[in-house]
């Protein structure tokens, strides 16, 4: 049997494989970005909770009006940053979903070509097996005819 048959779309298949790898890398980066955004949001929430707890905790000394206003200002600023972090998480998760869809599409496109290649290889091997059987039949027929000429004739 000879080497594997030449698949005419091999270069396209290689490009699809490259595209799939690139999409996988993009997905990993998007997931890292989403995780970083979630961690930042959780850190801001923890800071806000700590600030709110500190403002609500009765201390040894009474808090002045200025201190209460400052605490409220800090809490409002943290709330705004948490809102921005929520939007960043939503955007990052949207990017992850889009990257997942693109990876899925790249996989399907590559898989279609892989199936074509598998069919091509199977067809080429079947054609080769058929040709081998034909050669063997030809050899057998040739030998049969040669042996027929060498046999003595009986009367």
pLDDT digits (tens, 9 = 90+) for 54-66: 777 766 567 777 8
Percent of the chain with pLDDT over 90: 65
| Alpha carbon distances (Å) from 50 to 53, 55, 56, 139 | 5, 9, 10, 91
Poorest-pLDDT segment among 63-67, 90-94, 118-122:
63-67
The pLDDT confidence band at residue 69, using thresholds 50, 70 and 90, is confident
Give the count of beta carbons closer than 10 Å to the beta carbon of residue 144: 9
d(CA 81, CA 107): 38
What pLDDT is attached to residue 24? 96
Mean pLDDT over 13-19 rounds to 94
Mean pLDDT over 2-19 rounds to 86
Is 80 exceeded by the pLDDT of residue 1? no
Q: What is the CATH number that goes with domain 10-115?
A: 1.10.287
Query: And the tokens for 155?
Result: 């009367």
The pLDDT confidence band at residue 155, using thresholds 50, 70 and 90, is low
d(CA 114, CA 9): 10
What pLDDT is attached to residue 56? 74
Please, what's the largest Cα pairwise distance for the chain? 137
Closest CA to 87 of 32, 131, 40, 147: 40
What's this model's pTM, rounded to 2 decimal places?
A: 0.70
What pLDDT is attached to residue 7? 87
| Alpha carbon distances (Å) from 147 to 127, 133, 137, 142, 152 | 30, 21, 15, 9, 10
């Amino acid at each position: 049997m000879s080497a594997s048959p030449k698949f005419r779309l091999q270069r396209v298949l290689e490009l699809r494989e490259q595209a799939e790898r690139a999409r996988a890398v993009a997905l990993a980066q998007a997931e890292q970005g989403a995780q970083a955004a979630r961690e930042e949001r959780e850190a801001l929430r923890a800071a806000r909770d700590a600030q709110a707890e500190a403002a609500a905790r009765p201390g040894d000394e009474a808090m002045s009006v200025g201190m209460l206003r400052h605490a409220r200002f800090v809490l409002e600023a943290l709330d705004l940053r948490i809102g921005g972090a929520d939007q960043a998480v939503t955007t990052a998760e949207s990017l992850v979903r889009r990257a997942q869809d693109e990876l899925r599409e790249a996989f399907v496109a590559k898989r279609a070509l892989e199936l074509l290649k598998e069919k091509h290889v199977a067809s080429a091997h079947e054609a080769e097996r058929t040709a081998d059987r034909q050669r063997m039949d030809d050899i057998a027929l040739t030998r049969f005819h040669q042996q027929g000429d060498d046999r003595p004739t009986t009367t």
